[in-house]
Structure 1
Amino acid sequence: MVTFNMVCDKMGGRLVAVVWFVSTLMVIEIASSQWIQDETGLEDCKFDNTHDCEHEDDVSVICQLPGYLGCFNHARKSYLFPPFKEQGNEVHALRCIKLCYEEGYVFAGLQYGSYCYCGGSDTMYDLQGKVADSKCSYPCNGDSNQLCGGDRLVGVFDVRKTFCSDPRTPNSRVEGGVSFIFASVVNISCQVGFGQVRLQCSQEAGEVKWIPDIPKCPDVTQPDVRLVNGDYPNMGRVEVMAINGEWGTVCDDYWRQPDANVVCRQLGYKDYITAHSGAFFGEGTGEILLDNVECTGDETRLNECAFLTVDNCGHDADAGVTCQLPGYLGCFVDSTELRVLPFNKMSGPSVHALQCIIHCFGKGYFFSGVERGNECYCGRIDTAYDRLGRARRSDCRMACGGNSNLHCGGDNAISVFDVTKAHCPDPGVPRGGARTGNSFVFGSTVHFSCEDGFQLSGEPSLHCLLAQGHTNESGVVGWTLDVPHCVDTDATSSLDTTTSLGAAIGPLFAVGILLVIVITIFFVIRRRKRRIANTHPKPSNNPSPDAVQYAKCQRGYS
């Protein structure tokens, strides 16, 4: 029995029983063992790798539950616990521990195989003395693999040491109940990220803990869907992030337009164009995380749709989508006699929607429109593009001649865009630096560098993309990062990022300070002059009273 006690001790528990389980799948490696009582692990024992056993001779152990304090005398006439909480054929150790824990007690005690006691922190369960654990050998009525004390003997547990911590976090969801007692199982999923992690409350090295560790869910602002390997950022293979942070693909089984609609809306696009199958944008790598995705089209995130996490696909069945370009306003009726967007027509086999947006924006127009697959039109800010009414969505599904993944209206139906919502603002040029790239349309990239004597602070490249997430209601694009600036490495001073307003602020500030100083000096001098004047008054032209009296006397004398 010493060997089996050692196995339980290493796991942090105590031996309950030795059981022979028939036909287990464990490999027979230990034919005979010799032991002493101070081994810390089974590997420290002496054993033979040769054997004459069959799997019908496999052995196993049952260890005592976590939190076990020992076996104690509990005489009938001087019970240390309050009257029993439960008694009967359903009683077993875990049931009693859970009952006491939920009612706020600290200790649980079991006796006679069918009695459950609960005690507070002041319960002196050891007052009558402790006995050998083997004395508490009555099998529990509710589970014969657990022990429930003995005759006038009570097995005592500290219930606080039999529960795992609450696995719930602000960004997680828990399935499987809210009881976190030893041996319980829960499934953890995250608000962001796909998949679940199955956790079991177990004991490891004497500590009750969840195995595996509780996953750390990504921040809710972090995107868990992305498009990869497309011609433009609004198209590509759909990849989703698992809750462990790894990216995987989606199988195209049941992949339809409602699924593409949810993906596009989650990424911030107003509409979808196509749901692609058969690895249209190339085969991905890593795990295939989702299969049999079925969205209604009303969901705001892909993880709200129905799906399976066990797939029967290969990467040759990776799903993809093409979303509508930023700034899309809708499909509208047009007429060859009276165009709704009448300006600066451009046509040809290379025309596509994004090219038309760039063309009209460069000419100073506010709207662009494409129709018949190869025609581009522009409109001013006051152009009433909707004056003939809105067309059906399906009327604007003609593939663009310049890029068949994009749609360019239809016959007498024009796809209209607000070109300003498809362009990022001018990022400027850093003082002491330079910029490469003058196109700020959706999908473009600009690069920054600094002159000799300056060092770039920030990322050297910015990408014009649509902000991800369904909270981006306006659908306006923006640069992925802040504009970098150049730092003077000699003066260790930072220069402003652009050559516009910031360049004039310094001199204006200096002039303002100088003006304040001049005004202050003026008032100080003026105040000092007044003070001097009051101290030394000017001579008066009028005679003093004494002089007047003297003159009178002179006249009287004469």
Structure 2
Amino acid sequence: RLGCSNLMMGAQVRLVNGNGRCSGRVEIYHNSQWGTVCDDNWDMNDAKVVCKQLDCGSAVSSLGSAYFGQGSGQIWMDNIECSGSESTLRQCSHTTTHDCNHGEDAGVVCSGKEFTLFCSQVRLVNGNGRCSGRVEIYHNSQWGTVCDDNWDMNDAKVVCKQLDCGSAMSSPGSARFGQGTGQIWMDDIECSGSESTLRQCSHTTKHNCKHDEDAGVVCAQVRLVNGNGRCSGRVEIYHNSQWGTVCDDNWDMNDAKVVCKQLGCGSAMSSPGSVRFGQGTGQIWMDNIECSDSESTLRQCSHTTTHNCNHGEDAGVVCLSDFRLVQNGQNHK
């Protein structure tokens, strides 16, 4: 009975498409087939139970919107609400009926031994998703923060690279994402931007800081290329460690509004398609995007990852803040 119980506990949930067995899309084995979990109400308490069930250490992040790719087949669980004390996900409050699609598949990153490969003992907390927030370092079996003395964009670039989060957008200090607790592990960090991990950068482990000086990072998993500044251009998405484009099928102002919001570029001015900003290269990551304008990121919008497009259909965006800069420049000539 003990052997059977252990088998059931570890074998009826798995993490797929991550880096090793301790990160990925959450899948449940039921009725002789694997299916997914909807991200409605999905949070860190739910992730804690999955990591515990898989003997993968503590939960690092609870991801939604099919961060690890869309699954297939049945969606077995929805509206999961764990307290964090449960031993298995099935013990948590949940429904077996749902109103979800696989674009809402839930994911988890645990602090198991694969975690050091996935994000090398750094995380971003209290931001919008795993790619923005307060910088925290895992050391001596506990999470602590980083002081903002000398903190700049080169340091932020390394964090974004380390987390596979695209390019750095900003490097806020002064506890922009709230004050952390516990130890302050690093101070006076000076990265060149070429390092692979934050620990490789010049730094001190002694400090004269308080948590109101905790450093933060915002990474950009979407960018605008070949326009006039960072707020206009061809839309590019960072996925699977490479930048690719977005097809202009169904591309409209609601989609452009979400991009401008995500980049902190104000409201949308236009949503040009037909390669207005030149053809991109590599993969076309998203097609048939349909945003409602309420989403915070483009990945949260309804979309497909398969397409029938070529780079002559790459989508673009012009945000109002960039338009104002251009107009002001012209007025001063």
TM-score between the two structures when normalised by the length of structure 2: 0.41
Q: Which of the pair has the greater relative contact order for Cα pairs under 8 Å at 6+ separation?
A: 2
| Structure showing greater Rg | 1
TM-score between the two structures when normalised by the length of structure 1: 0.25
Structure with higher strand content: 2
